[in-house]
Amino acid sequence: MKKELLMASALVSTLGVASVANAVTATMSGHHDTGLQGTNSDSSAEDTIAVTNNSSFSVSLSETTDGGVGISTSFMLANESVNAGLGTAGFTLAFTDGSSLDVINAGNAAKSHDISVPGGAGKPDGITTTSTNMAQTGLDFFGEATGIGFEWHSAADFAIDGLSVSASYSGDNGATATSSVKLDSAWGLGATYVTTAGDSDVTVGTGIASATHKNIGVDATNPSAGFHIGVSAVTGDLTIAAGYADGDKVSVGGTTNDQAEIADNTVTKVGIKYVTGDLTLSAGFTAAEGQDSDTLGTKGTTTDSKDITEIGVSYAVASGVTANLGWKDTESSDEGTASDNSGGSSWYIGASMSF
């Protein structure tokens, strides 16, 4: 019995040493937001107040080969929120010259270089616009990608000081277009330039992208494609940023406007943020409009629009703990006509804990 116990102990010890020696480096991160959200919707006769929660937990894995090439990936264990989904990355290869290559679920290079424009704080939401309003509000609304592709990122100071560039391509995933439109392939290019102007650190980001789609026999007159450009200036504790995007987008699968497209969509975003000690004040405005159509191949003749105003206050209570107060207002127009029962305002008060 004593010999068996010794053998078992040795085996466990050996396996333990082997697992440590062969294990990649794992790090964990996540957050939990909880608070109250108040909604004053134009489509509802009564205001509402509800508890809102948003949580995530993800794991990152990395290792370096004897040749100095870094290999990393990540996966999400939980993402409990509205429009929740589990994000699983492919592999990233980091080379000794500072460049890197993402393969599988790589994304679109245009999205990697859009400028972050300050807005509100927390997550004031709950406001919906009519389902036929297809105006897109993000700077990278056209940057699609299938999971079968790659995205290459240059090292810093590519060609000139302060410049970095990216390129991506994704191919056909074999999905059949029966009753809905399917993304076929996509490519993207992006660039970021960082410099100084007087006392300000200035960042300029831009990107272009295009995608093709399978369909049920009607070609998209205006396939998903577009460009964005933005600039951010940081002077001490003050950040001012603005961005603009222009392009077309095809609606893909499962929406109320399936097999639809929105053409000549433009997005303009401006925002400001000021940090004083543990307190952060922010505000932003978004104006978006585009001409949508219920069917592929026919460009709409009237315009959908959304105007969004956001204000936020954040306070760093402790390391990793932030209290948030936010307000958001949405005004919309559908087919060129202001919508009296679409849009509204909402507020949020709560806290976020992250690790």
At 37-57, the pLDDT tens digits run: 888 877 665 688 888 888 888
> For position 212, what pLDDT does the model report?
87
Give a yes or no: residue 183 inside a domain: yes
Domain carrying residue 317:
107-354
- pLDDT greater at residue 288 or residue 17: 288
Residue 246 lies in a domain: yes
Contact 240, 232 (CB under 8 A): yes
Q: Which of 135-144, 204-213, 329-338 has the lowest mean pLDDT?
A: 329-338
- Radius of gyration of the chain from its Cα atoms, rounded to whole angstroms: 24
How many distinct structural domains can be found in the chain? 1
Decide if pLDDT at 350 tops 90. Answer: yes
Q: How confident is the model at residue 124 (pLDDT cuts 50, 70, 90)?
A: low
User: Position of tokens 């929105």?
Assistant: 262
Q: Where is average pLDDT lowest: 76-80, 190-194, 272-276?
A: 76-80
When comparing pLDDT for 319 and 50, which is higher?
319
Express as a percent the part of the chain with pLDDT over 90: 52
10 closest CA partner among 18, 106, 119: 18
* C-alpha count within 13 angstroms, C-beta hemisphere, residue 170: 29
Please compute the mean of the pLDDT values over residues 286-297 and round it to a whole number.
79
Is residue 42 situated within a structural domain? no
Q: Is residue 117 part of a domain?
A: yes
Look over the chain and give the mean of its residue pLDDT values, rounded to a whole number: 83
Query: With contact defined as beta carbons under 8 Å apart, do 115 and 202 qualify?
Result: no
Distance from the Cα of residue 232 to its chain's centroid:
18
* Tens digit of each residue's pLDDT (9 = 90 or more) over 182-196: 888 999 999 999 999
Q: Is residue 201 part of a domain?
A: yes
Structural domain includes residue 58: no
Asked if the model's pLDDT at residue 234 lies above 90, the reply is yes
Examine residue 227 and state whether it is found in any structural domain, yes or no. Answer: yes
The answer to the question of residue 91 being in a domain is no
| CATH code of the domain covering residue 129 | 2.40.160.10
The answer, yes or no, to whether residue 226 has pLDDT greater than 90, is: yes
* The pLDDT of residue 12: 39
Q: Taking Cα atoms as reference points, which of 268, 280, 281, 207 lies closest to residue 241? A: 268
Amino acid at 321: V
| Nearest C-alpha neighbor of 140 from the set 70, 91, 190 | 190
Q: Which residues pair with 90 in a beta bridge?
A: none
Pairing of strands 48-64, 304-318: unpaired
pLDDT at 19: 41
What is the rounded distance in angstroms from the CA atom of residue 74 to the CA atom of residue 339? 43
Q: What is the pTM of this model?
A: 0.83
